[in-house]
A and B are shown apart, each in its own frame.
Chain A
C-alpha cells in the first residue's frame, strides 16, 4: 500500500507528504506542554503567591496554544494537498491502464469503475489520515506517557499497569468482533440481493402471484440481518464503558496513592493534577488510535483492489510496426486459434479468406466466437496462434492506428457517450454535415435525428439513455460508416431495430458498400443471406462456408438454422 502511495506522489506533494506529519509533531509537542505548565503554576506560582510567575507561565501556555494551531492548520493543509495530488495521479494512472489494457481476461468494467472512483477516494482519505491522525494520536499517547512519567515519576507505574491491560483488552474485543462483522456484512449482502431481485423481477412476481412468498423470504433474511447486526454491535459495545472505567480507576488510584504521597510531602498537588490531566489525554488518544486502525484496515482493502488494477498494466509493449499501410482490403485468417485458457479455445483452427471488396457473413449462436473474430481482426488482443492478414500484411506488423483506420466496427452494444449527436457520430473521424447526413440516412437514423431539438446538436445523456435501443443502434451504425473505412464490420448491430427498419438499413448499406469489403455478423440468417460468402461458427469452429444457396444444399447445420428461423419447408425462398 505504501508503495502505491509512493509511486503516485511526486514533486511538491511528496514534500508535503513527509512535511505534514513532522509539522504535526509540533502541534503534539505544544499540546503536551499545557498540563506541565499548569502544574508549575499551581505548585510554584500559587504556593509562593508569585503573581508574576503565574502570568509569565500563563503567557507561555497561551503562546503554545497559538503556535499549536499554526502547526495543526498548516499540517492539515499540507496533508490535504499531498492526498489530493496522490489521488489525482493515481486516478489518471488507473484510467490509463484500464484504457490501454488489452488483456482478454481483464477486470469487468463495473469493477474497474468502482476501483477508479471509490477506492481511489478511500486511498486519498487514507493518506490524509496518515499525515494527520496516524501521527497525532499515537504521538499524543506516547508523549503523554513520557510527560506524565517526567512530571510525576512516582505515579508512572499506574500507567505501566493500566496501559498493557487496555491493549490486551482491545485486542481481545477486536478479535472477537471481526468474524461477527464479516457475518453481518454477508447478511447485509443477502438482504440487498433479495431486495434487488424483487425490484428487477417485479413483473414476474405479479404474474405468478408470488407477493406473499417473497415477503416471507424477505422477512426471514431481514430478521437474520437483525440478529447478526445485533451480535456484531454487542461484541464492541463493551469497549467504551471498559476504557472509561480503566481511566477512571486510574484517576482514583492516582488520587489516593498520589494523595497519600502528597500528605507525606513526597509529591505536590500540582503534580497529581497534571498526572490526571495527562491520563485523560492518553485515554482520548487511545480511543482515537483504535478508530484510526479500524479505518486503516478498511483502506487496506481499497489499496489491494487498486493494486490489482495496476497489476493489469501490460509488461511488454507491442513490437514496433515494420510494415506500411496495406493498400488492399482482403482479410485472411490462417489457422487462427485463440482462447483465454489453453484447454478451452474460443476460436479453434480458423481458416478463411475474404477477397478485396467481398461481403462476408458470419452466423452462429451466442458464444460461438463471432465477436472474438472481430476482436482479433482489430488487434484488441495479441495472444493468439496463427496469422491474420489485412490486404496481405500480417496485422502484427502494423501500427494499431493503421489497423483501426483500416477497419471500422459497429459494436454489438451500441454505447453512446454523453455530449451531442454530432460528437458521437464524429467519434471515429471528423465529417462534414453532408457526410453526417448521408451516414445517418444509410443507418435510417436521419428521420429521428431531424425530429430532435437542435438536430445534430441535440444532447445525448450518459449511456444515451434518452434514446431507445433501436435509435442507439442506428446512431452506432452511422458512427461506424462516417470514417468510410476500407473494411466495415457490423457486429450484430441491428438486433434491437424492428424488421422493417432492419430491411431498410440492409438495402441502403448494400448500395453504399457495393464492391467494398464488409463483414456482417448476425444471429439471424436473413441478415447474411445476400453475402458473397457466409461462414457458420459453432463452438469456435468453422462448420460450414459458402454462399447461402450452397450452404442450404450442403450444410445440415445451416439448413436447420434456416428451418428454425424461417419456418418449415420454404428454405428461405419466400
Chain B
C-alpha cells in the first residue's frame, strides 16, 4: 500500500510557507471543538513605513488593482524620550486600558497595530475592537495593522507549556524587534540619519522586563504619556493600570461578594434556579433596583448595595431569589445618593471602616424593612433577589460633574494626582471614582467619563476622565451633555457623506424634460392642488395633501411624501450614516439632522411653489371616508402653499374663501373627522403627555416663557391622513414582503401595569379603570373625570400613558400576524412611511414600497431578515433616545425660563412616598418632589403615611393622591455642585 504521508516542503507558491495551527474552543452550548487551520506564512507583507523603499513594491493590490499607500509617516512625531521620532507598538493591555488616549485627536499617531493584538482585543471586548478598527480607517491617525502572524519572520509558534498570553507577548516583542531592524536597514539604504524608534507600549511589567532584556525600546503607558506635551490631560484618559490595581489589592479588603463563575450562572439560569434580566434602578431610590425576569409577572426587587453587588443600571445580571422572610413591598421612600453619602472621602475609602453599606444607608434600609413587616402595605410583599453575577456590562460614557466636596480643598490649584468623585447626571448611576491631575480645573464643569472597572474591594466603580464639555449651565455644555447622555450622534456629517449629495447642490431641480431618467415611472401630479400643513417655522416638510371631489360623489385624496429614497441610495455612506442616526433629534433650540441640510430642508422638503419628487398615496374615499381603492406611485408635485396649523385653520374657517384649494382642505377636514370617529370607535386611545412649548426671545434665543401646546383641528387633520397612509402602506408592504416588511407594533400592556393606577383611582375617586382591551380602556378613560376639575382627566391619561408598553419597529418575519397589532391606534398593521426626512424607518418603508410597486428592485439589505432586525433594534433605541433627549432639553429650558423667578401655580399630587410626594405642574409640564424634610426646614417632620389610602399626614396638613394644591416654584442653585434645580414647595 502506498503511503499517504505527505511532505510539507512542497508548497504551492515559493513566497509562502505552510504552517498550521490547532486550537480548542468552547461553544456557548458547552461543547468543545477542535479547530485545525492552515496558515500561509509569507514574506511580502509590507512594513508600510514611508521610510522604507523595499516594501513599496510589496504593497498588495486587490482585484481592482487598487494599492494601499504606505501608512506610517516618514517623520513621525518625537517626544522628550524619543527625540528622533517614534512608531508605537501597543500591546493588548495598552488598548484595553487606554483606548480613549489613542482616540484623542492630538496624541498617538503612527501606531502599528499587530494582528496578535487585534485578535486579543477582539476576544476581550468587541466594542473596543470596533473602535480600534474605526481608528485604523481614520487616515489622519495613521494606524497600520501589521499581520505579524502571517509574516514568516515574525511568526511565533507556541512552545510546550507556554501560556497563550505569554506566546502573544512574545509575538509582540518579536514583531517589535523585526520592525526595529527592518527600519534600520531602510534608513541605511536611504542614507538618512534619523531612524524612528519602535516603542513597545505595555502595561505588563513582566512583558516590559523581557522586552528590555531583548534590547527593545519599551515603555509603560504611564511613563510614555508623561513624556508627551499636555501630559496631565492625557494621563487622565488612561485607566488605572494593572500595576496600581495590583498593589492596592494586597491591603484592601473585599467589600462585595464574589461573582459566580459564568458556567455556574448559565447552568443555574437554564435549570431555573437563577434568573437573568436587565438591571434597572428606581429613579427615586438609588438603593432599589428592579429586574423583569420571564419567570415572574412582577419584577424582582433588589435592595441595597450588597444585594445589587456592583451592578450598574442597564447591565444584564443573574439573580438569585432571596428567602421569603426577606421579601418586601417596593420602597415608598425617596432616597437620593448625595443625601446619604455626601461626606464620603474618595481618596482613602478603606479608612472609613464601614464596609460596603454606610451606616446611614443601613439605617435608611432598616426603616424600610420595618415598615414592610409592620403591615401589609400596597399589596403583598414582593420577591426580592440578589445579584450573583453579571452577564454583560452595558457601561457607556457618562456625563456628570465633579463632586466639590471630594476635592481636597488645599489641592485646588495643584497638579498632584488625586481621586475625586464624579456625580453622573443620570441619578441611577452611582458616583464614579476618577483619578485626575486637573481636579481644580474640572470643578464646575460638565465632564465626560467612562467606567473602567468595579472591583470587589471598591465601594464605587472606578473610571477615567475623557474630556470636559464646558462650564456647568452654559447652553453649549448642557446641550452637548444631554446629546452625549442619550447617545445622539451630533458631529457634522463627514465628507464621505456629503459626497453622496447631488452635485448641483441647491440648484438641483426636477428635470424639465419628462424624458429624463428621473421621470421614469413617475406620475405627473403637478396640476393637483397640493398644500402642506406643519408647525410654524417648519423647514423639513415631509408631507403634503390634496383632496378633490370626483364626479361620482367620492373624493380623491392624496398624501404626498418627500421622495427621500430617490436621493439616498441604499448602502452608500449617507445611507449608513442615516441608519446609524436613525432619527432627527429635535431639541428646543437645535435640530440634529438625520440627513444633511441640503436634502432635509431643500431638495427633499416639499416646499411650496417649486416642483419636487414625491412618493404619493392616492385613495378614492366615499362619503363615509371608507377606502374604495388605494394606489401608490412615485410622482412629481408642486405644492401650492405651506400652511402652519393656525393659518390652515383660519383659512378653513374663513367662509369668504371659496377657492378650490380651500375647498379641498375643507373636504380633508370633513373626511378626517369621519376617519377619527371610526378610529375612536374601534378603540384607539387618546393619550396625553405633558407637552410644553418654549417661547424664546428671537435674538438671543433665551427662553422667556413656557406655554402648553395647543391642539387645533388641523393638527388632527394631518395626523389622520398620515395614519391612513401608514396603514395602507403597511398592508401593501406586508403583502409584497411577508417575511421582511418593516412594520411598527405596539403591544398590549400586561394587565399588571394598570393594577396600581386602577386601584388608586378606585380608592381615591371611586372610578373604575378597565384595561381588558384598548376599547375598554379608551371608554373607561373617558369616564375618569372630575366635574370640579377639568384637568383631572388629562392627568389620568398621562398616568395611563406611563403604564403602556412602548411601540417598536420590527421585521414582519419575526412575529406572528396577531402580534403586529398597534394597540394605541387600534390598527391591525402599521408602519412609518410619512416622515422619511427625519426617520430612517420611513426611508426603509419607502424602498420596500417602491419595490412592491415594481418601481425599482429591492436592495439586498432589505431582503435579509437579520440585517433588518439589526436596523430595527438600532432605530428603536435611537427613537427612544431622541425622545428622551428632546424631553431633557425642554426640561433644561424650562429651568432656564424660570431662572430667578418665584411663581405660584396649581399642581397635582401624582405619587406619594412616606417621606415626600411628587407634584406635577401642568403649566410647565414639570414634575417635582416635595420632601417633608424641606418643609420642616431640614429636619424630618413627624408624619403618618397611609399606603392603602394613598395619603400622607404631617402636622395639620394631609396630602392625598390626585389632590390639587398650590405650589411655589423657584429655582435653586445646589450648594455642593452649583447645579441649578427647580424646587417646588407647598404654599
Are A and B a genuine interacting pair, yes or no? no
State the A residues within 8 Å of B (CB). none
